[in-house]
Structure 1
C-alpha cells in the first residue's frame, strides 16, 4: 500500500466525519425510523498503517469513533468507501460521497463483510468531563500496552485464520459475506449495475438484481450477476 493510496482512503473516510443522517447505512427494518433516530455524529474515521499478516497478505486497519452507531452502519460505511476507491477517480469521490450521504431517499449501500469488525474501547469523555472531579477517570491509557499486545497476539491471528478458512468456503458457495476476498470479487463482478445505480439514481424494481436487495437488507444469499 503506497502513501498515495493511504491518502486517498483517508480522504474518502473523512467525508463521514461530522453529523449525518445514516438512514441509508442501516438495515431496512431500521431505516423507517424518524430522522433523529438515524442521525449519528462521527468524530474520527481514519486508515492506519499497513500490516503484513502471517499468510503474507497486507492489511490496513480502519478506525472509527463516534457517539454511537446503528445496526450495519460501520459495515456500510466501509462498503461505500471501498466502492468509491475501486471505481471512482480522485476528483469524483468526495462530491459523490457527499451526494449519497445527503440523499434523503431510501438508497442501497454495499454491505461489507463483518469479519474483522470489533469494538476496541468505549470512550467516556462526557462522563469524565462531568464527574471527573469527583470520581476516578474512566480511561484505558494505563493498559494501552496490554491492549495492543492482546490484539497482536490473539485478535489479529484469529481474524487471519478465519479469513483464510472462509475464503475457501466462500469461493465454493459464493456466499456474499463469507470473506472480504469473495465480497470484493462480487463488487467487481457487479460493478456495472452499481455504477448505473449511483450515477443515474436508478431504483431497482422487484424483479431486478435480487442481490442488490440482499445488500440493502443486510441479508446473505448468493451473488447473482446483473
Structure 2
C-alpha cells in the first residue's frame, strides 16, 4: 500500500472515532438532564442485575449437569395410558357439556341399547321408509320420550344409530343391540324413573328394551360384535321322506333304482324294486298310506316321533357345517370367488326332541362370526333335504365347492337371534378399568389430589347376563309360543315340504346316492328356473331366491 493510501486510512479512522465520541457524550448529556444525579451511596442496579443474571446462569448450568448425570426414572406405561384414558374421557365430557350449555339442552351420551322383539308383522329390523320395522318403532319411541332432539328426529343417522345384527322379515330376537347417542335424562321422566322404563311404556309389548349402558365412543354395535348366536326351531316331521309317488319321490326312485316307476303305481311295500329302501318305503307311509289328503297327512305327521338313529344322522349332517367354509350356495348374489362368502361356524348343535302341543320339535343352534342373507335358512334347507332323502353327508362339502346349486331356504318362522357377543370389546373395557383403578390407587398414596369424577372413564361390559331372566320369559311368551301357535294354525313347515315334493326339474338331482353334483343340477349365477306350468321353484312362492330381492347391503343382512 502507498504512503498516501495509509495516510487516508489513518485520517478516516480518526474522523470515525471522533464522531463516536461526540455521539456518546451527547447521549450521556441528554440522559443526565432527564434523570436526577445518583447518590454516591445508591447502588448501581444494572450492575447488580448483571451479577444476579450471571449467578442464575451458573446455578442453572450446575442443575442441568446434575440432572444429566442422574439416572432417568422410567414412567410406568400403564400409568401413562390410564392418565391418557382419563384425560380423554374428561375432554369428551367437557366438550359435550360446552357444546350444549349454550343451547339449553342435555349432552348426548353414546349408549348400548339391549332389546328384544318378535318379528312377526315387521319387514325386518332396520329402518326402511314406507314399511314397518322394529328400529322404526324404537327410534320413534326415543323421539317421543325426548331422548332425541327435534332436529335429530328427522334422521336416525344423526344419533349414529347402529345395530349388531340386522335380521330379515319375520325373524325374531331375544337379544339384539343398538348403539346411539341419546339424552339420558329428558324432562318427561318421573322422579326415580329411568329412560328404559319410560320408553317401554311407548313400545308394543312384543318389543322390549332390556336396558342401556354407556360405552366408549369408539364402540360400534356391528363392527365390535365378535359373533352371533342364532336358534332355529324345527318340527321333526320335516325329516320324514317324501310322500310316495310325489315328484320328489319319483326322482329319488330313479336315482336310487335306475328306472322309472311302474305304470301300475304299485305301493312301495308291494314294489320289489324299492321295498328294501327305507327312504322309499318308510314305515310312516306304510301306516298312513299315500292317497290321503294334506290335512289327514298333517294330523299324522304331528304325531310322528324321530328315532334315535335318525336324529344321530341329522346331527352328523349338521356337524359338517362347522368351521370356515365358502357359503356362496347358502345366500343369493354371491359367486364362489367372492371372498365375502367365507364364513366361520364356531359351534353348532341339535337339541334333544321336545313335544309341544302334540308336535315334536328340536332346537338347532348356530354360533358363528357372522351370517349372510338367508344363510341360516338355507343351511336348514339342505340339512332337511339330506336328512329326509338319505343323501350322503359328503354333499355338504360339495356345496362348499365352485358348483352353484339350488338350495331351498326354510321358512323364516322358526328363526330367532339369541344374542350377539362382544368378547373383544369386553376384554378392552376390563383392561381399561383396571388401569384406572391402578391410577386411583397410586394417587391415593400421594399428596396429589384425585381428578374430579375419577371413575368416569370406566365402562361396563356389553353382555346380556343381567337381562337373562327377562329375556327367557319374553322368549317363551312372545317368540317360542308364537312360533308354535303359527305352525299349529298354518302348517307352514308342511306347506314348505309340499313345495319341495311337487317340484319337477333337475335342480335336486344332486340328492343322488353317490353324493355328486350332476351338470344338470348346476345353475348359472342369477338363473331363475321355473317348473312346468310356470310355477316358481320348489319353495314358498311368496319368498323367491331371485337376486332382485337382494338389498345393496346384502353382507350386513343376516339370517
Are residues 2 and 206 of structure 1, via their aligned partners in 2, closer, same or farther at CA, if it must alter by over 3 Å? closer
Q: CA RMSD in A?
A: 2.9
Moved more, 153-162 or 136-145: 136-145
Q: How far apart are the structure 2 equivalents of 1:68 and 1:207?
A: 29
404, 426, 434: which one pairs with 1:106?
A: 404
More helix as a share of residues? 1
CA displacement, residues 102-125 of structure 1 (integer Å, 9 cap, x when unaligned): x21322111111111111111112
337, 342, 346: which one pairs with 1:39?
A: 342
Q: How far apart are the structure 2 equivalents of 1:71 and 1:16?
A: 17
5, 8, 23: which one pairs with 2:328?
A: 23
Q: Report the counterpart of residue 396 of structure 2 in structure 1.
A: 97
How many equivalent residue pairs? 202
SS in 2 for 1:68: coil
Q: How far apart are the structure 2 equivalents of 1:24 and 1:3?
A: 30
- Tell me how far 1:207 sits from its aligned partner: 6.3
Are residues 44 and 164 of structure 1, via their aligned partners in 2, closer, same or farther at CA, if it must alter by over 3 Å? same
- Tell me how far 1:83 sits from its aligned partner: 0.3
Asked if structure 1 preserves the Cα contact closer than 8 Å seen for 2:405 and 2:507, the reply is: no
Q: TM-score by structure 1 length?
A: 0.76
Matched, 1:139 2:441: no
Q: How far apart are the structure 2 equivalents of 1:127 and 1:108?
A: 38
Which portions of structure 1, spanning 4 or more consecutive aligned residues, are displaced by more than 4 angstroms? 191-195, 204-208, 212-216
- Tell me how far 1:19 sits from its aligned partner: 0.9
Structure 1: gaps of 5 or more residues: 168-178, 221-226
- Tell me how far 1:17 sits from its aligned partner: 1.0
- Tell me how far 1:193 sits from its aligned partner: 4.2
203, 217, 221: which one pairs with 2:546?
A: 217
1:161-200 aligned at under 5 Å gives the runs 161-167=485-491, 179-190=492-503, 193-199=506-512, 200=518
Q: How far apart are the structure 1 equivalents of 2:504 and 2:311?
A: 23
Q: Report the counterpart of residue 86 of structure 1 in structure 2.
A: 388
- Tell me how far 1:22 sits from its aligned partner: 1.1
- Tell me how far 1:143 sits from its aligned partner: 3.2
SS in 2 for 1:196: coil
- Tell me how far 1:165 sits from its aligned partner: 2.9
Q: How far apart are the structure 1 equivalents of 2:386 and 2:316?
A: 11
CA displacement, residues 42-77 of structure 1 (integer Å, 9 cap, x when unaligned): 1112111222223x1111111101111110100000
SS in 2 for 1:161: helix
